[in-house]
Structure 1
Amino acid sequence: MVTLDEIWRKAILPIDSTLKDAIRCLNDSSMKIALVVNAQGILEGTISDGDIRRGLLKGLDLGSAIERIIYRNALVVPPSFGRDMVIQLMRSNQLQQIPIVDEQQRVVGLHVWSQITTPPPRDNLMIIMAGGKGTRLMPHTENCPKPMVLVAGKPMLQHIIERSQQEGFNHFMLAINYLGHMIEGYFGDGSQFGVKIDYLREQTSLGTVGALTLFAQRPETPFVVTNGDVITDIRYGELLDFHVRYDATATMAVRVHEWQHPFGVVQINGVDIVGFEEKPIARTHINAGVYALSPNALEFLVNGEHCDMPTLFERIQAKSLRTVAYPMHEPWLDVGKPEDLKLARDQGEKLQREQV
């Protein structure tokens, strides 16, 4: 099977090629673009079907060198650019392809619109912790499990599943406890939503990660874990790729939280005033409730024992294994209190109106 990596490499075209070579390159890669490089692999420019047609109209033939038809002002991006930024660039510049180059301007990849907007399927498991009682959301959760509370006409849990589907995830594991039969009755095996859903059924509350001891068969590849009350546009796939890239045992998505002191702060040394700071802003990183774990992280859990995610991270750190923070900037809301639910519903209704 030909991989995507091999396909973009087929779009590489040496600078000493002819128009005939360029046509063959475009046909072989099906990328609608040829990446013209010199002997050092440095990008000299690009060639499209339109460039070839314009060259032929100017009197060039199939044996002519491509030198005169190279477009030398191609927009490029470094490998560090995230998916959202690349999509925004492609949309604003009406581009279907953007070459990826390193610091030496050597070609290291190619973003293609059809691929970047449709992530490939991921075999990795997506686990959603949906067993909480939602005491702080009473009376909304009196006869309804918290993840099933409606936001914009759908249960929060359904929003998470559909958002994950957009990232290529298709196998879900739901950890259920409080009124879990309602969750299982609504989602079933997931077939009506185009996914596969299995369940971890807690007999007692096991915390935000303890339910992972209930696996009949542990995952063999890294997986994502999210709380069932977190509404976010985070790129779950990018979180997982970040986790793998940094060879971590556990990765935690974190957000910057800002809090402004309501008063002016006086700095003192003994009884002497040494400075003032008027209503300073404190910035801290907070746990966003979304994680990526490697299979060996499960070795630090005890079967049937209550455990929260911070405790698991501490156990992993105590063994000198790597835990990393994934900085996220996307919209995020932890729907833990009635005012959070109202905000989520207001935002959902606003989005629905904008889409009409």
Structure 2
Amino acid sequence: MIIKKLLINYNETIVDALNKLNELKGISRLILFVQDREGKILGSITDGDIRRSIAMDQRVDKSVEQICNTDFLYEYSSDDYLFLGKYKNKDIKILPILNKSHQLIDIIDLDKVNAKLPLECMVMAGGRGKRLSPLTDTVPKPMLPLGGKPIIEHNIDRLINFGIKKIYISLKYLGNQIQEYFGDGSDKGISIEYIWEDEPLGTAGALGLVDHFNTDHVLLMNSDLLTNVDFESMYTKLIKENADMVVASTEYKVDVPYAVFETEENKVKAFKEKPSYIYHSNAGVYILKRELIQKMPKKCFYDITDLMDDLVEKGGELIYDPIMGYWIDIGKPIDYKQAQEFIKHIEAN
């Protein structure tokens, strides 16, 4: 969405406004923002405002300044976390973002965006995907189709859904296909930068190839996941608990087909018949303090689990946040088949 398409001058008529509204596409509510000569926003105007005005006096020559809603809600531009829940509970679809001069610089479509998180993200997409051969012999695993678009695009679209607009993608195997597909990210209204690994650097090593992250916390995730992980839940939990790093977790259930004894020396004190145990497992999505990246070894193989081990060993705060929705790690043919079937269910609903 080009912001200037949402602007209308204060002295234009409501007929002009109707023509502009008819041209709008890809937005949850047809709305314009009325600006004065200096570009300062005076109010908002919708087709409903125009209908009510015409119904009142049948005039179509009035200026938009005369009928616009001057008591509109907005936020000023900021790099801080913005909680959108307070707006989603009201009849608001479009939240304008203004600069200090009260000029429109952005909008948040509340039907499409869950949150505005102050995060930059690294998506790991350099792996070979040997277990999915021959599918990955000529196509990198993140680009395998899933419900009409590549696996990695599902993840990028979800990041966008949480207001993340700067994404780094680490590449190695057939990475040119990913770069050619997404370009600089402008088609999606974001900025994408590509980090090429000359040698495999593990699941965290590529972070050290970024000169400087501009946010205090960085999101790192695998590209071969199908999940509706709640990034906002992860971020707010990290901040609330003042932790160094949060890991998304998924439940892993183990069913024991036999009775399990609780013993003391060689005596059975109790037993459980065919018990089940639930463990929280690493789901491949992390948010960490930027300063942790600065302490990592540079240009060498380094897994995110190495960082987690170092953090725990040195007394840092490592927490987890369970994924309450779905999560599929597409590593094997059976996983890919499961994801293909599951995406049909999602799209049907």
TM-score (norm 2): 0.66
How many angstroms apart in 2 are the aligned matches of 1:321 and 1:270?
36
Structure 2 residue 245 is the aligned partner of structure 1 residue 231: no
Is contact 1:123–1:170 with CA below 8 Å preserved after alignment?
A: no
Instruction: Note closer, same or farther for the CA distance 1:220–1:170 as it changes in structure 2 (3 Å cut).
Output: closer
**Aligned letter for 1:255?**
T
Aligned to 2:254, the other structure's residue is in SS state: strand
Instruction: Note closer, same or farther for the CA distance 1:282–1:226 as it changes in structure 2 (3 Å cut).
Output: same
Unaligned 5+ segments in structure 2 are: 1-68, 74-82, 93-108
How many angstroms apart in 2 are the aligned matches of 1:295 and 1:200?
17
Structure 2 residue 178 is the aligned partner of structure 1 residue 164: no
* Larger mean Cα displacement after TM superposition, 243-252 or 304-313: 243-252
Instruction: Note closer, same or farther for the CA distance 1:268–1:83 as it changes in structure 2 (3 Å cut).
Output: farther
Aligned to 1:301, the other structure's residue is in SS state: coil
How many angstroms apart in 1 are the aligned matches of 2:148 and 2:111?
29
Structure 2 residue 346 is the aligned partner of structure 1 residue 351: yes
The aligned residue for residue 40 of structure 1 is none
The aligned residue for residue 207 of structure 2 is 212
Structure 2 residue 153 is the aligned partner of structure 1 residue 153: no
Tell me how far 1:83 sits from its aligned partner.
8.7
Match of 2:304 among 309, 321, 327: 309
Aligned to 1:125, the other structure's residue is in SS state: strand
Tell me how far 1:256 sits from its aligned partner.
2.4
User: Which residues in structure 2 correspond to 1:72-111 (within 5 Å)?
Assistant: 96=91
Instruction: Note closer, same or farther for the CA distance 1:120–1:349 as it changes in structure 2 (3 Å cut).
Output: closer
User: Which residues in structure 2 correspond to 1:1-356 (within 5 Å)?
Assistant: 96=91, 118-119=113-114, 121-269=116-264, 272-352=267-347, 354-355=348-349
How many angstroms apart in 1 are the aligned matches of 2:227 and 2:252?
15
How many angstroms apart in 2 are the aligned matches of 1:116 and 1:347?
23
Is contact 2:253–2:277 with CA below 8 Å preserved after alignment?
A: yes
Aligned to 2:258, the other structure's residue is in SS state: coil
Let me know the Cα RMSD of the aligned residues: 2.7
**Aligned letter for 2:280?**
H
Moved over 6 A (4+): none
Aligned to 2:119, the other structure's residue is in SS state: coil
How many angstroms apart in 2 are the aligned matches of 1:248 and 1:29?
40
How many angstroms apart in 1 are the aligned matches of 2:112 and 2:167?
22
The superposition leaves residues 140-181 of structure 1 with CA deviations (integer Å, 9 ceiling, x where unpaired) of 212211111111121110000111111111211101111111
* Larger mean Cα displacement after TM superposition, 191-200 or 339-348: 191-200
How many angstroms apart in 1 are the aligned matches of 2:313 and 2:273?
40
Tell me how far 1:96 sits from its aligned partner.
4.8
Aligned to 2:206, the other structure's residue is in SS state: helix
Instruction: Note closer, same or farther for the CA distance 1:272–1:246 as it changes in structure 2 (3 Å cut).
Output: closer
Is contact 1:123–1:171 with CA below 8 Å preserved after alignment?
A: no
Instruction: Note closer, same or farther for the CA distance 1:317–1:264 as it changes in structure 2 (3 Å cut).
Output: closer
Unaligned 5+ segments in structure 1 are: 1-26, 32-81, 98-113
**Aligned letter for 2:300?**
E
Is contact 2:154–2:226 with CA below 8 Å preserved after alignment?
A: yes
Instruction: Note closer, same or farther for the CA distance 1:257–1:29 as it changes in structure 2 (3 Å cut).
Output: farther
Aligned to 1:128, the other structure's residue is in SS state: strand
- Corresponding residue pairs, total: 256
Tell me how far 1:320 sits from its aligned partner.
2.6
How many angstroms apart in 2 are the aligned matches of 1:120 and 1:255?
22
Aligned to 2:157, the other structure's residue is in SS state: helix
How many angstroms apart in 1 are the aligned matches of 2:314 and 2:265?
42
Tell me how far 1:219 sits from its aligned partner.
3.4
TM-score (norm 1): 0.65
Instruction: Note closer, same or farther for the CA distance 1:192–1:260 as it changes in structure 2 (3 Å cut).
Output: same
